[in-house]
Chain A
Amino acid sequence: MSELVSTIQKVLAETGLVLGWSATGAGGVAAPERFHTAEEAEVAIFDSTCVHNLSVHLPRLKGRAVGIVAKACDARSIVELIAEREVDGDQVRVIEVSCTDTLDVKAIWRRYGYGALIEDDGSELRVNGEPVEREAFVQAKCLDCEDRQPATPAGKPVPSGSKPANARQQLREDFQAMSVGERRAFWREQYARCIRCHACREACPMCYCRDVCIMQTTDPHWTGGGINTAEAEMMQLIRVNHLAGRCTACGECERACPVGIPLMLLMEEQNRAIEEMFDYRAGVDPEAKPPLLTFDIKGDSWDGE
């Protein structure tokens, strides 16, 4: 029995519920699972296809004891949820797993066909039995991750920096090189295919307003009910604005988007701005004061006053 399974079983004895993964997902990859008994937990796994941020379920389970298997990035979401009093820290038991990186499963399937066999021992990635270049199919957020464990046999993290390792990183570089006007056109092209399924919102652990979200209220009428470029653009402006200083960069909005809108480009920009302005990262310290809920009389004079 793996160490993970026995840990989950130990936590289960206290909480009666653990959120984790089994290998039963569609297409033969990991899928989110709820374990209630030690027997159920025997199928628990952790591998690089465990991409989901399970903390999205925590606000729905508010008020009951729950264990949760979490990667370092997921743990930041849990910390932020606790900081915002949306989750009771005393009731959550975090089982943190060490993680090298997670895969962009969709990208693999687009290249090799949906359901292609993915085998990964942590360093060598094989698809349908053939070795493939790992960096091309790793989620971009993982390449940037500061908590990333050594991934290569030599024990060194693969350097990311000078040259983009995959298409998503290249897209970020292209975006940053655009003029302001080109960016507006870029976003309008991206938003044109938005169907307003709200997957970006629903997959986000921090978007727990859910059914009372102002993206859908009619009064105030921040967005209309139509499904078109203009409404989609406003929707994303709302999302970015409401996640200011709260986004833990887990990347679930972008991963969940069924039409591949690179939503994290905006979140990355905002997180960087917030780090520059306030030296603050969300989801690091549950006692930290969120930067937009406070102020610094002297330190905030960006305009020289």
Chain B
Amino acid sequence: MAGTARMKQPGDLRVIRLPCTGRVNPLLILKAFMEGADGVLVSGCHPGDCHYNVGNYHARRRLELLQRMLPAFGIDPGRFHYTWVSASEGSRWAGVVSDFTRRIEALGKIGAEVPANALAKAEQTAMTDATGKTTS
């Protein structure tokens, strides 16, 4: 809808289509962060509108728990957002993704929030730096 209406969308957002937010294993989001994604947005059908009846009700609990756990993992919770946008809400979609992308751009690259001295300490303790990779 947003596309056919020729609404502007940010170009640095990569869309990964899944059949239902119920398919979104929170580990997929965490793996994305571990692999270097600067932000992850999950957008699904509105609660009550699930094609599979209950998928997004299950997803809502998992996603909210993940949202609350991100600070403990050391990931800025602002880098993650979940929301509900239906197929007919083209302008809302364009707004959500634009806002989210702007927010991530403001936060910068993932890891930008890690203080340099703390990171240096973490890297220095890494025993394997002489013999193998410690980061990827």
Contacts and interface: CB of A to CB of B under 8 A. Distances in A.
> So, do A and B actually touch in the complex, CB under 8 Å?
yes
Interface of A: 179-189, 192-193, 222, 224, 226-230, 233-234, 237-238, 240-241, 244, 265-266, 269-270, 273-274, 277-278, 291-292, 295, 297, 300-303, 305
A186 B122 CA distance: 7
Contacts of A303: 64, 82-83
Contact of B135 (A181, A229, A302): A229
A117 B82 CA distance: 55
B79 to A, nearest CB: 10
22 contacts: A180-B76, A184-B74, A184-B75, A185-B119, A187-B74, A189-B126, A192-B122, A192-B127, A192-B128, A222-B31, A226-B133, A227-B128, A227-B132, A229-B128, A229-B134, A237-B27, A241-B26, A273-B65, A277-B65, A292-B62, A295-B60, A300-B47
B14 interface: no
B133 A237 contact: no
| Chain B interface size range | 35 or more
B65 A305 contact: no
- 3 residue pairs, one from A and one from B, having the closest CB atoms: A184-B74, A185-B118, A181-B113
Interface centre among A180, A187, A240 (most CB of B within 10 A): A180
Contact of B121 (A183, A189, A291): A189
B64 A182 contact: no
B114 interface: yes
B9 to A, nearest CB: 22
B113 A179 contact: yes
Nearest to A265: B72
B136 A230 contact: yes
Interface centre among A224, A269, A302 (most CB of B within 10 A): A302
A193 to B, nearest CB: 6
A273 to B, nearest CB: 5
Contacts of A238: 27
